[in-house]
Amino acid sequence: MHLTDILNASAATPAFKDAVHELRNRTRGPLITAARPIPYVKLVRLVTQLLDAERELEIVSMRVTADSGCSDLRGIVDVECVDGPRRFSFEWDCAWRASEMGWTDCFGFPDQMRAAREFDWRCFKSWQSVDDSPSLTFASA
């Protein structure tokens, strides 16, 4: 699915949807923020995961506290919704996805570039509500 389709299927507020469109155009606004610098592409992947996994949430804004490595982004996203706050822990890891797929590069390491290119935002190893909701851990696709 393309981000536009996911965004259209989401119950997010119109203002948040506008902020997502601005983010896709590389403009960061006050509704999508991060405690530390996060590469633009990883922030878009995280927003896409949030909108896809939590379609029913009427999202107003989000704040990310995460660490970004070469092949991963791990942390917490605090989401302000019309009916109250939600929190999710997550791990996006293209090296993990490459290992799951059995893809290696010319040096024998997991081909994380191929995984990121082919799976994009679908390289989430885990996505878990911290609000007493059941945990989701993803297996190989």
Q: Any idea where the domains of the chain sit in the sequence?
A: 3-93
Region 92-114 average pLDDT: 97
Q: Check if the beta carbon of residue 93 is closer than 8 Å to that of residue 110.
A: no
- Centroid of chain to Cα 6: 12
Correct CATH for 3-93 of 2.60.40, 3.30.160, 3.30.230, 3.40.50? 3.30.160
**Count of residues in the chain:** 141
Span 33-88, pLDDT tens digits: 999 999 999 999 999 999 999 999 999 999 999 999 999 999 999 999 999 999 99
d(CA 100, CA 85): 33
Place of tokens 């927003």: 47
d(CA 110, CA 71): 10
Q: What is the CA radius of gyration of the chain?
A: 15
- pLDDT score recorded for residue 13: 98
**How crowded is the C-beta side of 7, counted as CA atoms within 13 Å?**
20
**How crowded is the C-beta side of 70, counted as CA atoms within 13 Å?**
5
d(CA 79, CA 88): 8
Q: Which of 78, 73, 70, 72 is nearest to 54 (CA)?
A: 78
pTM: 0.89
